[in-house]
Amino acid sequence: MAHHRVILIAGAGPVGLAAAVELTRRGLPVRIIDAGEGPTPPEQSRALGTLPTTLAILAASGVSARLLAEGARITGADVARDGHRLFSIEVSAARTPTPFILSLPQGRTERIMVEWLAAHGVGVEWNLALEDIVDTHKPRAILANGETVAARAVVGCDGVHSRVREAVGIPWRGEGYPGVFSLADVRFSAPIDPTRAKVNIRSGIGGSALLPFGPHAGRYIGLGGDPEALYNGVSGIEAVTWTSRFSVAFRRAERMAKGRVFLAGDAAHVHSPVGGRGMNLGIWDAATLAFLLAEGRETEYETKRLPVVDEVLKVTRQMTDMVSRPGGPMLWLLPFAMPLVTRVPTVARRIAERALALDLPQPEWLAADYGMNRDAG
C-alpha cells in the first residue's frame, strides 16, 4: 500500500478527529489511528462547551449543523455569592452569528465527527498506537502492529502524554497548579433552564458552577476533592451519572512543529478547564494546520499558534486564580461593581466576547472562508 502522500494523525480525540475532518474536506488524504478502543464513553461529558469560533470552523464540513442540532445553547450565566444572586452575564451580547456556548458531552461531539468521517470514506483505526517516529523531515511512523508509514506529515493529537512529542524530543514546559478540582454530572427529575449557567462563589472556599447540557442534565464543577460536596443539599437530583477528580497544570510544548511533525491539542498545551478553552483551542490548532497544509504553508503553523496558546494559558491562569482564591478584594468588589458595569452595553459586550473567547486572535483564513469578520457585524 502506498501511504507516502497520506497525512498520518495519531490520536482520535476531538482534536485528531477535527484534523481529519478539516483535511478531508480540503481534499488531502488522511489516515487516523488511535491507541484506544473507541470514542470517549457517552457518560463522560469532559469538554462540554463548544465555542463560536469552533462552530464557525466546523461549519464548512457540515459538522456544526449536527452539533447545533443536538447541543444545548447557554446564552448567559447567573452569578451568586453564597447562594445570593449578584449579577448576570449575557453572552448573547457578543458579535457572532452563534452568541452562545454550545453544551454537548465530548463523547457526542466525537461520535458526530467519527460518523462524518465514515460517510466520507475515512475509518478511524482504533487499537493501533503510534510507537515511534524516524526522521522528522521525511517522517516515517512506526505503529504498534509493526507497520512503517511514510507520511507526508505526522500530526500528534495524542493527548497530554503525547508519544509523538516524546518521539521527536520536544520538551514539555510549565507547572502544576495547587489544589484539586471535582466534577459531577447529574440528572434532574424536573426540567432545568438549559440556557443558563449558574456560578456560585463561596466565601473562603472558592467557586463552583452548574453547566446545563440539556433540560434534565447538568455538570457541577468546582474546587475540592469531593464531587459530592458540589451538589450536596440540592434538591431534585435523580441520578449522578459521572464524577471525576482532577488536578490542573499549565504546560505547553516548547515547539509545536519539528520538520513535518506537528503537535495539536492537549499534546501541545494543557491548562485548567476554567473558561472551557481546552478542546476548542485544540480544534483551532487542527483546523489551522489543515488550512496551512492545503496551502503548502505549514512552516507557518508554529508562529501562528504559539502566541494564541500563550494568551490562553495566561488568561485561563488568571481566571483560575480568581475562582480558586476568591478571598481577596475581587470578592468584595464584585457585588458593587459588576451589576453596574454589566449594564453598560459596550462593557457587557466585551465581557460576553471574552467569555466566548472571541477576544482571541481569530484565524485569518476563517474570516476569508466564512465572512466571520466580527467588526463588520
Ligand X SMILES: Cc1cc2nc3c(=O)[nH]c(=O)nc-3n(C[C@H](O)[C@H](O)[C@H](O)COP(=O)(O)OP(=O)(O)OC[C@H]3O[C@@H](n4cnc5c(N)ncnc54)[C@H](O)[C@@H]3O)c2cc1C
Residue 258 contacts ligand X per CB under 6 A:
no
Rounded Cα distance between 348 and 94, Å, is 8
User: Whole-number minimum distance, CB 124 to ligand X, in Å?
Assistant: 9
User: Whole-number minimum distance, CB 231 to ligand X, in Å?
Assistant: 16
Q: Which residues contact 272 (CB under 8 A, 6 or more apart)?
A: 177, 181, 248, 250, 316, 317, 319, 320
Residue 185 contacts ligand X per CB under 6 A:
no
Rounded Cα distance between 175 and 315, Å, is 15
The site string for ligand X over 119-148 (x = CB under 6 A, - otherwise) reads: ----------xx------------------
Residue 61 contacts ligand X per CB under 6 A:
no
Contact pick of 141, 170, 279, 360 for ligand X (by CB under 6 A): 279
User: Whole-number minimum distance, CB 31 to ligand X, in Å?
Assistant: 11
Q: Kindly report the CA angle at 120 between 118 and 121, in degrees rounded to 5?
A: 65
Amino acid in the structure at residue 213: F
The site string for ligand X over 206-245 (x = CB under 6 A, - otherwise) reads: --------------------------------------x-
H/E stretch holding 312: helix 301-324
SS3 of 346, please?
helix
H/E stretch holding 25: helix 14-25
The gap between the terminal CA atoms of the chain, to the nearest Å, is: 49
Residue 273 contacts ligand X per CB under 6 A:
yes
Footprint (CB under 6 A) of ligand X, residues 21-50: 33-36, 46-49
H/E stretch holding 257: strand 257-258
Contact pick of 139, 206, 282, 363 for ligand X (by CB under 6 A): 282
Q: Which residues bind ligand X (CB under 6 A)?
A: 10-16, 33-36, 46-49, 106, 129-130, 157-159, 163, 244, 246, 265-266, 273, 276-279, 282
